[in-house]
Structure 1
Amino acid sequence: MKTIINTKYVKNLALAALALITTTAFSQEEEEEKTKFEFSGTVDAYYRTNLTAPNGEDAIAPGSSFANLDGFALGMANVIATYEGEKVGFVADLVFGPRGTDAIFASPMYSATGDIVNQLYVYWNVSDDVTLTFGNFNTFLGYEVISPAANFNYSTSYLFSYGPFSHTGLKAAFDLGSDWSAMLAIMNPTDLTELNGTGDYAVGAQLGYSGQFLNFLYSQGGFEVDFTGGFDLSEEFFLGVNAAHFSQEDDGGSFTGVALYPQLATSDNFTIGLRGEYFMTSDFFGDTAGIGSDTDGDGSVFAVTLTGSATIGDLILKPEIRLDSSSEDAFIDNDMDPTGSLASVLFAAIYSF
């Protein structure tokens, strides 16, 4: 009798354990399903002032994108919703604020206050080596990006500012193995992200190896080749590189630039970095090109930006000093006289969630 009772007890214990394991497995599976849908993003603000030029009503700024407002200023709120399935998923990336408005400058067609879509795409992992992406996605060219948390320097380069920001279309990414990758894309003309509106299309391509990327873009008679990469020269020292050349058919002008990004980590929570950039235009659409140029649209600028990056949990603090020197008198000094140089400083705070 004792043996039978013990046997029933063991059976009951085994069934209870199996039920517990099954319940735990289902709970873990449900939890895994829940974690596939996530929210993330950033919020940023900054203070900017000129050292060698007027502020306030007569304030000027470098000719690159973002971080160009005077005094205490807003960046943007960036809210990203993602769903990552086994084979398919989506990204809905929304932006609110001056930086976001500048990032989607060519998009607003359905709202009096401007669009809020930075990226909006679906993707399909066709296999372990092939992914198709359809919709609106940030450009694959260049070292810098729209998100302030993903850049080391808070202000942006001329190379970034003159290159495309976003594309809408279809791209196919390929993992070629042995650290090689490739990408092919067909898209609307550059920065036309809500609809086409022209009947023309752009084509893009990328070849990558171990974190180094060679990019190509052809859009409405303009061709751009871009190299983006970086090298860990030691555990503490990193060197980023970006170089690009753009030319427009039928004497539409061209630009060429190169930027180096040396960065030294002095501790787990602080890194100091420099961006040194040379950027030049030639007959660039026959206008001032935003960097200071002559009547033929020819000009150049050399810009040095020194940035510190301090991390406090999810908060990043970035003090920055920037020196821009143009081949023409593109700026003004404190006496309101034309000059070829501008010195400015800013302090930015970026929170990531």
Structure 2
Amino acid sequence: MKTKTVTNFLKKVCLVALALASFTTVAQEESEEKSWIENFSVSGSVDGYYRYNIGAPNRIGDFDGDPTTDPSYIAPGTSFVNQSGFALGMANVILGYEGDKVGFVADLVFGQRGEDAVFNSDGSAQIVNQLYAYWNVSESVKLTVGNFNTYLGYEVISPTGNFNYSTSYMFSYGPFSHTGLKADFTLNDNWSAMLAIMNPTDFTESNPFDTYIIGAQLGYSADNGSAYLNFRYGNEGFPGLVGPTFQADLTTGWDVAEEFYLGINATYLSTDPQADGDAGGFYGVALYPQYKTSEKFTIGIRGEYFALYNDGLLGLGAVGVDTEGDGSVVAATLTGSYDIGSLTLKPELRLDSTSEDTFLDNDLEATKSLSSFVLGAIYKF
């Protein structure tokens, strides 16, 4: 009798233990599934704009007298916001996973702004803005491999990351993206560093030249702002045909007061000549003061000076140049930013004034200045 009672008791204990084990397994699986979902994110934006030249035509023909044939647009020589009338920006979808040690980002772009941003890509890769994986080796070291947006400069490709809707000359002619391997180092609570080896600039899909770029960054951050000193050096094309390029760039921004912010960007780029002669390149500086008038509205101005020397940029049309290959531009952009929930409206007035004739007036005569109005609309999710 006693044996039977003990046996029944043991059976009950086993059943309870089995039930608890099953419950624990199911709970653990549900917890792991929930954890994976919580670590996965979807974000992005859509944007469009209206642009109108003041004192200049908004569309001209190909100088053949027929404005309906092969139309071209008069716009500042900067990226993205260069069409007249109502125009599309891009749709941006960012998929990400952030684990304890590893993660990835797949940043996809569709539309005119996206196409301009990934201009060196073909086929299916033409929608890839960023595509990289990372490994947190330790609390102070992070490795990233793949295609990532540039670490140089104040402005970025996505309009959600910029205060002004149109972009600067320094951003437009600096690098957009890189493909390679970079290592980020957290030195202490304030200081950081980065080292990278990358394909030639903006060759994000592959490396057709068998040359590489070395990148470096030293950063300082505090509660009221940050400063980053950036470098890149290397051959951007076939050795012997294109000389090495060196760029130094300073990006910094600080909350001067509760309502007032000041950003600064300065850059210098030099490319060695293909034959005997002097190096050519560009340099510039821009100030980004912004004043927050209310919770919904902020007003700011970008004042930029940008100069080419010795045929820098090889005639890409940034600004007109003289017989020595030198030219410069002073560009002032006044922007308002008004938030309506997740929608931001950005009206702005822009004036570009160049040292040489760069634009056309209403009589199709060459002129040194261009004024324009832009209204950008950005929805962020």
Aligned residue number for residue 190 of structure 2: 179
Aligned residue number for residue 302 of structure 2: 275
- Counterpart code for 2:286: A
C-alpha contact (below 8 Å) 1:252/1:285 kept by paired residues: no
- Counterpart code for 1:116: I
* Aligned residue among 85, 91, 94 for 2:108: 94
Measured in 1, the distance between the counterparts of 2:27 and 2:334 equals: 52
- Counterpart code for 1:235: E
Report Cα offsets for 1:29-88 as digits up to 9, x if no partner.
Answer: 543321211111010000000002101345300001111011000000011100111100
C-alpha contact (below 8 Å) 1:281/1:289 kept by paired residues: no
Measured in 2, the distance between the counterparts of 1:169 and 1:245 equals: 23
- Counterpart code for 2:229: L
Aligned residue number for residue 56 of structure 2: 53
1:217-256 to 2 correspondences below 5 Å:
217-220=232-235, 221-250=244-273, 251-256=278-283
C-alpha contact (below 8 Å) 2:169/2:318 kept by paired residues: no
Is 1:167 paired with 2:208?
no
- Counterpart code for 1:276: G
Report Cα offsets for 1:282-303 as digits up to 9, x if no partner.
Answer: 0115536421112332100000
Report Cα offsets for 1:143-165 as digits up to 9, x if no partner.
Answer: 00000011000000000011000
Measured in 1, the distance between the counterparts of 2:323 and 2:150 equals: 31
Aligned residue number for residue 41 of structure 2: 38
Measured in 2, the distance between the counterparts of 1:233 and 1:152 equals: 17
* Aligned residue among 166, 190, 205 for 1:194: 205
Aligned residue number for residue 346 of structure 2: 318
Aligned residue number for residue 103 of structure 1: 117
Deviates more, 1:277-286 or 1:239-248: 277-286
1:1-353 to 2 correspondences below 5 Å:
30-57=33-60, 59-108=73-122, 110=123, 115-210=126-221, 211-220=226-235, 221-250=244-273, 251-283=278-310, 284-287=312-315, 289-353=317-381
C-alpha contact (below 8 Å) 1:286/1:295 kept by paired residues: no
Deviates more, 1:215-224 or 1:19-28: 19-28
Deviates more, 1:177-186 or 1:20-29: 20-29
Measured in 1, the distance between the counterparts of 2:263 and 2:246 equals: 24
C-alpha RMSD of the superposition: 2.1
Q: 1:340 to 1:81 in 2, by over 3 A?
A: same
Report Cα offsets for 1:175-213 as digits up to 9, x if no partner.
Answer: 000300000000001111000010100000000011200
- Counterpart code for 2:234: S
Measured in 2, the distance between the counterparts of 1:226 and 1:87 equals: 31
Measured in 1, the distance between the counterparts of 2:127 and 2:313 equals: 29
- Counterpart code for 2:338: A
Aligned residue number for residue 4 of structure 1: none
Measured in 2, the distance between the counterparts of 1:300 and 1:266 equals: 33
Q: 1:252 to 1:289 in 2, by over 3 A?
A: farther
Q: 1:252 to 1:285 in 2, by over 3 A?
A: farther
TM-score, normalised to structure 1's length?
A: 0.90
C-alpha contact (below 8 Å) 2:261/2:291 kept by paired residues: yes
Measured in 2, the distance between the counterparts of 1:286 and 1:175 equals: 38
Measured in 2, the distance between the counterparts of 1:22 and 1:274 equals: 58
TM-score, normalised to structure 2's length?
A: 0.84
Q: Aligned pair count?
A: 335
Q: 1:236 to 1:26 in 2, by over 3 A?
A: farther
Measured in 2, the distance between the counterparts of 1:289 and 1:219 equals: 24
Q: Give the unaligned 5+ runs of structure 2.
A: 1-21, 62-72, 236-243
Structure 1 residue 247 displacement after superposition: 0.3
DSSP-derived class of the 2:116 partner? helix
Report Cα offsets for 1:230-257 as digits up to 9, x if no partner.
Answer: 0110010000000000001133411000
- Counterpart code for 1:261: Y
Q: 1:314 to 1:288 in 2, by over 3 A?
A: closer
- Counterpart code for 1:204: G
- Counterpart code for 1:212: A
Measured in 1, the distance between the counterparts of 2:296 and 2:75 equals: 30
Structure 1 residue 336 displacement after superposition: 1.1
- Counterpart code for 1:228: T
Aligned residue number for residue 9 of structure 1: none
